[in-house]
Structure 1
Amino acid sequence: MSQLVTEYLAAGANRHPSAADWDISGLLAFGADRSVALWQPQGENLQGLLALLSGHTDTVNAVKFIPESSGIIVSGSVDKTLRVWNRDPSSGLYTCIQTLSDHQSSVNCVAVSSHSSRIFVSGAADATVKIWALDDQNVASLKQSISIAPRFFPLALALSPLAGALESYVLAIAGTKDIIQLYVQDSQQGPDFKLQATLSGHEGWIRSLEFTQESFTPTSDLILSSASQDKYIRLWRIHQGKELPAAAASADPSLGAFMPGKSLSNRAHRFKAEGLDFSATFEALLLGHDDWIYSTKWRAVGNKLQLLSASADNSLAIWEPDETSGVWVTIARMGEISAEKGSTTATGSTGGFWTGLWSPSGETVVCLGRTGSWRLWDHDLSEDRWIQGVGISGHTQSITGIAWSKEGEYLLSTSSDQTTRLHAKWKREDLFSWHEMARPQIHGYDLNCIDSLGSSQFVSGADEKLLRVFNEPRAVASLLTKLCGFSTSYQESMPDAANMPVLGLSNKAIEAVDDGQEIVNPNRQDRDAIDPASIVHKSTLNLEHPPLEDHLSRHTLWPETEKLYGHGYEISCLAASHDGSLIATACKATSIDHAVIRLFETKTWHEASPFPPLPQCVKPPLTAHSLTVTRLRFSPDDNYLLSVGRDRQWALFSRSTQDLNTYTQTSSNPKGHSRMILDAAWTPTIERIFATAGRDKEVKIWGMDDEGVDFSLRASIKEENAVTAVDFTTVVMGDGKVYLAVGTEVGRVRVYTLDVKKNFEVKEVELIFPSTYPFPEKAITQLAWKPESPSSTGTSKTAELAIASEDSSLRIYYIAYPSS
């Protein structure tokens, strides 16, 4: 039995205004693909995700904590369901205790009352809003279903007790129209919510609604904030009494200057509850954002209210009323202040902020950006300013490839979100935690594969016909040495940093500039013009902590040094030889003409040529397959190249002893599996042994026959689902066995031992998974054991396994093997 410990969990947040909530306990929950991710932003060790709660079968759109309920979470998903998650008080672990399937379409939003309440509300794309109640055992039951008329899709909900009423509630609903509907539950008239008012004034879809009380007095008025795609925030007052409240300062006619030709209506909408009179009136118009506003959140500071807003203009703003005039003004603004925003698919822009949240104390704010990363700011009371701190990041689409550096110091991951990210361990005193330390590549195509060429170089392939080679810049090397303790040898040839031209896809090497030095582009329309926002100053990466999202997306690019051409379609896979001299690549193919394997030399960066080189002659590519090659793997000594493909066969190419750049086919099995082969791996043993994984739910172990001529089937492992990834440890473990990790299309991971000495005996290792470990929600795309030194063969009793999945999550687990 082997213990498995979580080293690192990373996943990007879903881009939805309702996809996150921060509990009074300090725990932040957000949707990450199909999972609900848990994070402690103010934790002392600044680690990443604590857990990923799995259960939903599609993207999670809405997450809410039930106030004063010991941490109960309600999540809503595109899978049309709501899930209720309960926390075990003793262990702190969450489990799904109920699934609600009453909606007929994607759940877009969930609302809870800020006061102690057992009621929550959900809105979905079936144009209905449903009211639920929790009993004493935290079991939810449907109390009412509201069909919205006139029909629109709810995108925002807000729920609050009516001030002055004992047991009555007001519910605000808005979405794909420019109106807000107020439904009121009058406890004297029954449990149902009834439409009492329709608030108009916005000119675009409304993305966020939030109630708060004006003061701590139980009878104080309610203030409702509404954020819209018309770039404005409107405040509405719900007042108890027959007399209308005093006109709001922001209703001053002078504001008409900001909205030519438009008047600010202050019509009163009256209704009753528990025999009391109420009115809903327009209170204030907040002007200041330049793009859609996605979320607003209230905070009470003494007797003063503050409002946090997040906008697509890349800013997070804090509003409060002026003490003398009462006009709402911005007192702080965080995020991207510069007008130089760059391209949303390249460096320079975050693409907008999707949601902003206050911490329970109000001294910290976080926001979610387009890249799936969380930014964090802490309020410095002595200087009265907001200082950015360390947040978390992660991929937002399927992770298509991972690769450890040759020494295992860091892990590279590449994804369909068109980024390549470098993850490493931040070491300080007796603490350590994993973080994204660099974002070497931000591309315009979905990235498909990656491999390391050494400690400071890698190659990647994308949905384009070429491969790109990247070298580490001096600024990143210095940062990794400082924070992670890498023994990087600085080279004079290293450029300072890299940036991306405005209209280009290639990262260009640049020299860092002095802090006061200004760069002027003579021709801003030039293809190679420099985006001022991406200029790297010498002090930029002189950090005492992991890079913040600003640094990652702009200043940690690696310069591109080479492009490798030759394929006719999108690159499907690649592999670098262990000595770093060759790169083998293949592309997507439906015919034998394109299902070829090309070899590139890393000295000249040309396609490998015959030995001796012949005039005007290029070595033909390796042929064996008739459909797409799905994986290429060099043997540990690089004497063999293994290829597997969708045509169900594997092929083996051996290296020439005379010309180390020449490989010739020596063996193949056209019927290696009954369905397509998706992955392959070599054992680190002297004996020639490799494994293949197929959609036929089998892993097959192949070994060289007694004559040493051909490879034959030696063992087979049957799984319940299609096998999508396999990998062997890089050394023989302390018990004399080789360990094989197997991943399937449903996200399950198993580890097996292979005993070569005992007639290829295969046994499953009984793993003790951490309680917070849920298997990935989608297929495992790649498995990678951290490289071990060859000198540790036969002595190593621990290993680290990296797991990449289609659910956008990246996981690293530390495994301690039994001594016997």
Structure 2
Amino acid sequence: MQHEYGSGGKVTSTLVAHTKRVNSVRWIVGVEYETELVSGSTDHTAIVWSWKDGKYIPFVLKGHESNVNIVDGLYKSNTTVVVTVGMDSTLKIWCRKAPPEEFCISQTLNYGYSICIGVRISFLPSTDTLILACALDNSNIELYVEDDQFNLSTTLKGHEDWVRGLDFTVDDKGDLILASSSQDCYIRLWRITTKYLEQTNFDNILKTKIGDFKIYIDSILTGHEGWVYSVHWNPKSTQLLSASLDKSMIIWELDLESNLWLEKIRVGEVGGNTLGFYGGVFSPDGESILAHSYHGAFHIWNNQEEYWEPSVTIGGHFGEVTDLAWEPQGEFLMTVSSDQTTRIHAPWSKSGEPVTWHEIARPQVHGYDLSSIAILSRYRFASSAEEKVIRTFEAPKNFVENFRRICNIQERENEMESGPKGASVPSLGLSNKAVFSNDYEDEKEDSHFTAVTLTEPPTEETLLQNTLWPEVQKLYGHGYEVYSLASSPDGLLLASACKATTPEHAAILLWETANWTQVQKLMSHTLTVAQMSFSPDSSHLLSVSRDRRWSLFSKSSQNKFELVATTDKKTSVHTRIIWCCSWSHDSKYFTTGSRDGKVVVWTKSATQIKNGILGEYETASRHLELKNESVTAIAFAPGLVLGSYLVAMGLESGVIRCYKWSPEEWQHVLFLDKSSAHHLTVKRMSFRPVFGKAGHDRDDQNLLQLASCGSDNSVIVHNIEVK
């Protein structure tokens, strides 16, 4: 996987058809190379995705009256069998004869007042008869055997709490082994065989049309101290992987001498503030294990000569991503999210391997949902959350050193020599406290920080504890939660605005970044300022608001910002909330986008004749209107593209449109659908400040990178070729 898809893997496809949360996804097994998968969702449907003509085609299975929580599937001769379990207490079995026939319900099992919380389907050993294992909320496992229809054959009892994981395999003896894991912290192995063993008491017998199968407990595995959420058999050997909320995963293996199942490998986290693993799987070759955890992160370990090494993998936010900003030279991207973290994403490549993007630091792990970010310089930023305080941060030496190594950045300046080494968060605190080199011994009890030397992107454990940035200042002044931030390109000023229902609270505060003092209070709006943007020459500040108006402030000869233009109902063009704004690279034009689907470009009038509250400003061309759409994010390209300005628009539906604009016309040039862009609201977009790809030595004037983030928890960097 790693060699084919780059240094640490990457997202290759996004499948969009569900309208609500996806609860379960499984490959349909039974062939050498799987090309179909099935997913279940809170939207009451399951979908079978079939690979055809270079893309996945969805086939929707409708029949449940509530959430679909678990799915599974396999191939039987020329029939595809899919099992779906819903919160309506039903289990449905869907069959499809050889394509192109459609799926139809062949059977429905009703559990009455019980709920099925786990399901697996397989073949009885050495037969083509299907067996279905269902874990119920009474801690029992029901086994159904196919006989034209699935009939309840026996019930396996033993677990003392809910069974969360099930998996089948066939061992070297030809017997079928069912592994079950439970919230009672135990794993049970059930052997299903046709062989007669005198010393074994068969409490359970499967009666089928082809004969009787005996079932007995083969082993009970103890080793976890928390709920065991999943079990998965190694496809290449009889090894079992278990994942638990005790922050560990264990590989179990049968010891032939003692005939006991023993713990062979244990991997996971020691300490930290995570809540363990929700699931784990072996790779197809059995040489890697992948886990996902409570905080939405992936963890991967690779087998290196019987030593399992943690490796680089993909990751991202697990909450709505509310804002993003490029580092001034475009070397990395910073994002903030309602998952209460600030993250830094950057390109990385090993020698001879493709460049892939990874999270390289998590400067802020907060206690409130984050709302906005403003980068002041390469190693300084400010962020806001659902609190009245603005927090500012500076990079520690450890980050600067690791960033230069991971991204191969050569910098002339020899800064950060006397700065802090890292940061840590005190118990019950929200502020990142600086940790200095000479403080290690003193701080050891209070600090979780350990300086690490990285040559590749950090693992989740390192990100959580060792990549924080020290907080340097708190800025107080707003009466309600801070909603938006903007920094001037020269890094000298920071603008902030909070949620507001009155003109007093809708004021924009200007801060001087040299000494963190409030230098101005700009009054114009009456409701929350949705977004602000400084012009590239730092001489103007543009703001847009829920009051359906925009305001433009200009720097005077006394270095004070003054209101020079604004709109009202007659002049605004927009009739709904204005969500977004952006400046052209030359500071000549700015654009606004609103909920009514209108995009308007504004400029200073050539005649310079003042026109009421618009002052010397006017529309630069006819406006663009996107019918039945809401424009929630907008961005100008960092330069002219084939002689025209390029404007990217993110919509509430999740799609992104790009237009070439000139005062004479709008020309649509690019459409990114939900599978390429976002499937929920686009929250913010920004072009890389320079042409070319981040992570490459030279700038390419024929390529742009557009970063976007959305309510679907994703951050995407799009490569746009200029032709």
Give me the TM-score of the superposition, normalised by structure 2: 0.92
Return the offset for 1:325: 3.0
Q: Does 1:361 align with 2:268?
A: no
- Please list, as runs of the form range in 1=range in 2, the aligned pairs for 1:309-458 lying within 5 A after superposition: 309-336=242-269, 338=270, 341=271, 348-381=272-305, 384-431=306-353, 432-458=355-381
**Counterparts of 2:536 and 2:85 in 1: how far apart (Å)?**
55
Q: Which runs of 5+ in 1 are unaligned?
A: 1-25, 27-39, 248-265, 342-347, 523-528, 609-618
Counterpart in 2 of 1:780? Answer: 682
**Counterparts of 2:389 and 2:643 in 1: how far apart (Å)?**
42
Distance 1:457 1:245, change over 3 A: farther
Deviations along 1:94-117, whole A, 9 cap, x unmatched?
A: 322411111111111112349877
Counterpart in 2 of 1:77? Answer: 41
Which residue identity lines up with residue 389 of structure 2 in the other structure? L
Counterpart in 2 of 1:132? Answer: 94
Which residue identity lines up with residue 583 of structure 1 in the other structure? L
Distance 1:159 1:245, change over 3 A: farther
Deviations along 1:571-627, whole A, 9 cap, x unmatched?
A: 11010011111111111112223111111110111211xxxxxxxxxx5x2221121
Distance 1:272 1:204, change over 3 A: same
Which residue identity lines up with residue 230 of structure 1 in the other structure? D
Return the offset for 1:280: 2.8
Tell me whether 66-75 or 579-588 shows the greater mean CA deviation.
Answer: 66-75
**Counterparts of 2:398 and 2:502 in 1: how far apart (Å)?**
45
Q: Does 1:666 align with 2:564?
A: yes
Deviations along 1:114-137, whole A, 9 cap, x unmatched?
A: 987722211111111111223211
Report the secondary structure of 2:518's partner residue: coil
**Counterparts of 2:192 and 2:468 in 1: how far apart (Å)?**
51
Counterpart in 2 of 1:681? Answer: 582
Distance 1:520 1:810, change over 3 A: closer
Distance 1:580 1:354, change over 3 A: same
**Counterparts of 2:181 and 2:4 in 1: how far apart (Å)?**
28
Counterpart in 1 of 2:449? Answer: 535
**Counterparts of 1:643 and 1:457 in 2: how far apart (Å)?**
23
Return the offset for 1:372: 1.9
- Please list, as runs of the form range in 1=range in 2, the aligned pairs for 1:269-288 lying within 5 A after superposition: 269-288=204-223
Counterpart in 1 of 2:711? Answer: 806
- Please list, as runs of the form range in 1=range in 2, the aligned pairs for 1:605-620 lying within 5 A after superposition: 605-608=516-519, 619=520
Counterpart in 2 of 1:597? Answer: 508
Q: Which runs of 5+ in 2 are unaligned?
A: 693-698
Return the offset for 1:44: 5.0
8 Å CA contact retained: 1:685, 1:732: no
Match of 2:640 among 722, 725, 732: 732
Percent of residue pairs bearing the same amino acid type: 36
Deviations along 1:510-553, whole A, 9 cap, x unmatched?
A: 13589xx877767xxxxxx32xxx2313xx2x223211112111
- Please list, as runs of the form range in 1=range in 2, the aligned pairs for 1:499-514 lying within 5 A after superposition: 499-512=424-437
Which residue identity lines up with residue 747 of structure 1 in the other structure? G
**Counterparts of 1:766 and 1:94 in 2: how far apart (Å)?**
20
Counterpart in 2 of 1:647? Answer: 547
8 Å CA contact retained: 1:402, 1:413: yes
**Counterparts of 2:702 and 2:581 in 1: how far apart (Å)?**
24
**Counterparts of 2:556 and 2:658 in 1: how far apart (Å)?**
35
Tell me whether 409-418 or 372-381 shows the greater mean CA deviation.
Answer: 372-381
Return the offset for 1:773: 5.0
Deviations along 1:736-783, whole A, 9 cap, x unmatched?
A: 22111011100111111222xxx343222246x69x953311011011
8 Å CA contact retained: 2:170, 2:176: yes
Return the offset for 1:227: 1.1
Counterpart in 2 of 1:763? Answer: 667
Which residue identity lines up with residue 777 of structure 1 in the other structure? H
Counterpart in 2 of 1:754? Answer: 661
Return the offset for 1:140: 2.2
**Counterparts of 1:41 and 1:573 in 2: how far apart (Å)?**
41
8 Å CA contact retained: 2:654, 2:681: yes
8 Å CA contact retained: 2:16, 2:675: no
**Counterparts of 2:197 and 2:155 in 1: how far apart (Å)?**
17
8 Å CA contact retained: 1:726, 1:740: yes
Return the offset for 1:640: 1.4
**Counterparts of 1:153 and 1:42 in 2: how far apart (Å)?**
41
Deviations along 1:365-392, whole A, 9 cap, x unmatched?
A: 11111232211111122xx211111111
Which residue identity lines up with residue 775 of structure 1 in the other structure? A
Q: Does 1:66 align with 2:62?
A: no
Deviations along 1:260-315, whole A, 9 cap, x unmatched?
A: xxxxxx7712231014112333332211111111100012665xx21100011111
Return the offset for 1:447: 0.6
CA RMSD of aligned residues (A): 2.4
Distance 1:45 1:492, change over 3 A: closer
**Counterparts of 2:140 and 2:4 in 1: how far apart (Å)?**
38
Match of 2:525 among 617, 622, 625: 625
Match of 1:224 among 174, 178, 185: 178
Counterpart in 2 of 1:588? Answer: 499
Distance 1:429 1:306, change over 3 A: closer
**Counterparts of 1:494 and 1:578 in 2: how far apart (Å)?**
24
Q: Does 1:173 align with 2:134?
A: yes
8 Å CA contact retained: 1:592, 1:625: yes
8 Å CA contact retained: 2:236, 2:285: no
8 Å CA contact retained: 2:389, 2:476: yes
Report the secondary structure of 1:787's partner residue: coil
Match of 2:626 among 687, 701, 719: 719
Counterpart in 1 of 2:696? Answer: none
**Counterparts of 1:322 and 1:657 in 2: how far apart (Å)?**
82
Match of 1:160 among 116, 122, 126: 122
Distance 1:285 1:728, change over 3 A: same
**Counterparts of 2:491 and 2:115 in 1: how far apart (Å)?**
55
Which residue identity lines up with residue 189 of structure 2 in the other structure? L
- Please list, as runs of the form range in 1=range in 2, the aligned pairs for 1:174-323 lying within 5 A after superposition: 174-186=135-147, 191-215=148-172, 217=173, 220-240=174-194, 243=196, 246-247=199-200, 268-299=203-234, 305-323=238-256
Return the offset for 1:683: 1.4
Return the offset for 1:685: 2.6
Counterpart in 2 of 1:468? Answer: 391
Report the secondary structure of 2:69's partner residue: strand
- Number of positions where the alignment pairs a residue of Structure 1 with one of Structure 2: 699
Counterpart in 2 of 1:12? Answer: none
Which residue identity lines up with residue 604 of structure 1 in the other structure? N
Return the offset for 1:159: 1.0
Match of 1:98 among 43, 53, 59: 59
Counterpart in 2 of 1:525? Answer: none
Deviations along 1:688-726, whole A, 9 cap, x unmatched?
A: x21111111111111222333422223311113111010
Which residue identity lines up with residue 509 of structure 1 in the other structure? A
Distance 1:126 1:118, change over 3 A: same
Distance 1:175 1:637, change over 3 A: farther
**Counterparts of 1:521 and 1:800 in 2: how far apart (Å)?**
43
8 Å CA contact retained: 1:512, 1:535: no
Match of 1:741 among 637, 648, 651: 648
Give me the TM-score of the superposition, normalised by structure 1: 0.81
Tell me whether 713-722 or 112-121 shows the greater mean CA deviation.
Answer: 112-121
Distance 1:653 1:58, change over 3 A: same
Report the secondary structure of 2:18's partner residue: coil
Return the offset for 1:669: 0.5
Q: Does 1:487 align with 2:389?
A: no
8 Å CA contact retained: 1:634, 1:641: yes
**Counterparts of 1:520 and 1:245 in 2: how far apart (Å)?**
64
Counterpart in 1 of 2:695? Answer: none
Deviations along 1:551-576, whole A, 9 cap, x unmatched?
A: 11111111111111111211110100
8 Å CA contact retained: 2:388, 2:482: yes
Which residue identity lines up with residue 390 of structure 1 in the other structure? V
Q: Does 1:148 align with 2:111?
A: yes
